[in-house]
Amino acid sequence: MGRYSYSSRWTTSDCKSLSVKFLNEHHYFDGGVRWGTCSWSRNGEKTGSIGYVVSTAQGDASIRFQYIHTNSQSDEKKDLDYKVQLVSTPCRFGGRRWWFICPLVREGRPCQRRVGVLYLGGKYFGCRHCYSLTYESSRESHKFDKLFAELGITPRQARELFS
């Protein structure tokens, strides 16, 4: 889905993503080292793939991403190979919940947010906060705000008027 004229922010659905939920459902956190790939296509033609290795070894839990990034302006290709730290927290009734630690640096400071989904919003995987992504549903709920402003009413007044 593309961006609409009433919002300049990209949504989470505009980006490739990898979630802890997906990795857990496919048994990547069952111990040891596991590897996999994600690939995507457009019009039946493969347009990209990402390899990853998940390690849940004590003291070095991480996911290692390996892929080729192509610069959209210069078509320059660069091999990327980097790790993202994984941490786990105990669940209330047993088991563990896994999280990514965002590896991006914003304004000179590492983000290090504990998140359940990483997005490929640029060259590297990072959290939605670092890429300033919004959810589609959030954007949809404000799509008429500009119209209401032109009519001289607030969104709250519009809800009261039309409900």
Query: What are the structural domain ranges in the chain?
Result: 15-130
At 65-82, the pLDDT tens digits run 999 888 878 888 899 999
Q: Kindly indicate the confidence band of residue 2, based on its pLDDT and cuts at 50, 70 and 90.
A: very low
Is residue 62 scored above 70 in pLDDT? yes
Are 34 and 54 a contacting pair, CB within 8 Å? Answer: yes
3-state helix, strand, coil in the chain (%, to 5): 20, 40, 40
**Please, what is the Cα angle at 67 between 79 and 102, to 5 degrees?**
105
Cβ of 78: how many Cβ atoms within 10 Å? Answer: 10
Query: Which backbone phi and psi does 17 adopt, to 5 degrees?
Result: -145, 160
What is the secondary structure of 104-121 as a DSSP string?
-EETTEE---EESEEEES
80-125 residue pLDDT tens? 999 999 999 999 999 999 999 999 998 899 999 999 999 988 899 9
The pair of three-digit structure tokens given for residue 120, joined into one six-digit string:
């490929």
Lowest mean pLDDT: which of 42-46, 61-65, 81-85?
A: 42-46
The answer on pLDDT for 20 being more than 50 is yes
Distances (CA, A) of 69 to 50, 65, 78, 125: 10, 12, 5, 11
Helix or strand or coil: residue 136? helix
pTM of full prediction above 0.85: no
Instruction: Give the mean model confidence (pLDDT) for residues 149-156.
Output: 79
